[in-house]
C-alpha cells in the first residue's frame, strides 16, 4: 500500500492525500531532487512552471517531481519542509490532504484557496 495518493483537491487542481495515518514528526514524503537546472534556465520558465521549482545551493534550482509537486499550500498546513522532506507538524488522518505553507515564497503569487479559518485571503477581505 502506498502511504500517499494523488487525487482531485478542493484547494487547487490535484493534491496529495494521506493513505494512512501519520503521527506528528513523521516523514510524510521525501522529495525527488534529481532534476536541477541553472539560474539562467530558471529565469526562462513561465510563472506556472516556477511554482514547481525551488532554489537550492550554488545558484541551481530543482524542479519538483511527483508527488511532492502536488502538495498544495494551506495557511493551516499539516506539514513543514525539512531536508527535502514534508514532515507532519500534527497528526494526519487517512484521507486528509497533505499541505504545506508556501505563502511567503517569492514565486508564489497566487491567491490562497485553502479555505481554512485562518486563511490569509479571508483575513485580507
Kind of pairing between the strands at 79-82 and 14-18: unpaired
CA 10 to chain centre: 15
pLDDT digits (tens, 9 = 90+) for 33-85: 888 898 889 889 988 788 777 767 677 788 889 999 999 888 889 999 898 89
Tell me the residue range of the domain where 101 lies: 4-123
Residue 124: predicted pLDDT:
43
Question: What total number of domains does the chain contain?
Answer: 1
Q: 77 exposed, middle or buried (CB, 10 Å; 0-12, 13-18, 19+)?
A: buried
Task: Supply the pTM of this predicted model.
Answer: 0.82
CATH number of the domain to which 82 belongs: 2.170.270.10
Half-sphere exposure of residue 42: CA atoms within 13 angstroms, side-chain side: 19
Nearest to 91 by CA among 28, 38, 8: 28
Handedness of CA 121, 9, 20, 101 (dihedral sign): negative
CB 98 within 8 A of CB 15: yes
Amino acid at each position: 500500500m502506498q502511504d500517499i495518493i494523488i487525487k482531485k483537491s478542493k484547494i487547487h487542481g490535484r493534491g496529495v492525500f494521506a493513505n494512512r495515518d501519520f503521527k506528528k514528526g513523521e516523514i510524510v514524503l521525501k522529495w525527488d531532487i534529481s532534476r536541477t537546472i541553472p539560474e539562467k534556465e530558471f529565469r526562462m520558465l513561465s510563472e506556472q512552471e516556477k511554482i514547481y521549482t525551488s532554489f537550492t545551493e550554488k545558484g541551481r534550482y530543482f524542479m519538483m517531481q511527483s508527488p511532492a509537486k502536488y502538495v498544495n499550500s494551506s495557511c493551516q498546513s499539516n506539514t513543514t519542509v525539512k531536508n527535502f522532506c514534508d514532515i507532519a507538524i500534527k497528526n494526519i488522518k487517512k484521507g486528509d490532504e497533505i499541505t504545506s505553507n508556501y505563502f511567503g515564497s517569492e514565486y508564489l503569487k497566487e491567491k490562497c484557496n485553502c479555505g481554512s479559518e485562518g486563511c490569509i485571503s479571508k483575513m485580507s477581505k
